[in-house]
Structure 1
Amino acid sequence: MFKPVLSSQVENILIKLSKKDKKLVLELNKKIKQICMFDSELIEHYKNLRNDFSNYKRVHIGRSFVLLFHVDFKFEKIYFYKFDHHDKIYK
């Protein structure tokens, strides 16, 4: 089981969304917990990104949003880096 570490960008979005879209916040929290429950083999299920984001993996939240994260196997932590609409996240 991995320990989650949220970036300040993800924390700020969670705070803003908690006032506007509680359903999306619940989906995001559920997905973060689900990812952290996986072991080191099952975490490879998530897609590895390429080029500038080659150290990150991605997961879709809802229909239009993407959460980027990095897995640190040595310290058993998952760093949740960025959460945004799929049209904007890779820019």
Structure 2
Amino acid sequence: MYEYEFRKSVEKILKKLGKKNPKQLSIIGNKVKEVILNPYHYKNLRKPLQHLKRVHIDKSFVLVFSVDENTKTVIFEDYDHHDKIYSK
């Protein structure tokens, strides 16, 4: 099992989400637990973001993360709507 951390930008997004949509925040929490058990189960993004992985939340949101093998840490990099993530 891996440790995990959130970028400050993701913490800010999740804090707002907790007030607006606590159900979705709960779903994200469950996905985080799944990801830290086996982060390599999830697909990589396409170039130029191939070093990042992603997991879908509900139907239209994506949680993007990277894996640091040196520290056995999953770093959650971004969370946004599917269309916005892939246009970055």
Aligned residues: 87
* TM-score (normalised: structure 1): 0.90
Structure 2: which 5+ residue stretches go unaligned? none
Please state whether the residue corresponding to 1:51 is helix, strand or coil: coil
Shift of 1:52: 1.9
Q: Are residue 9 (structure 1) and residue 5 (structure 2) matched?
A: no
Q: Runs ≥4 in structure 1, deviation > 3 angstroms?
A: none
Q: Are residue 61 (structure 1) and residue 57 (structure 2) matched?
A: yes
Structure 1: which 5+ residue stretches go unaligned? none
Q: In structure 2, what is the Cα distance between the partners aligned to 1:5 and 1:18?
A: 17
Q: Residues 60-82 of structure 1, C-alpha deviation per residue, up to 9 Å, x if partnerless?
A: 00111001100111210001000
Q: In structure 2, what is the Cα distance between the partners aligned to 1:33 and 1:10?
A: 16
Give the alignment of 1:26-45 within 5 angstroms. Answer: 26-38=26-38, 43-45=39-41
Give the CA RMSD over aligned residues: 1.0
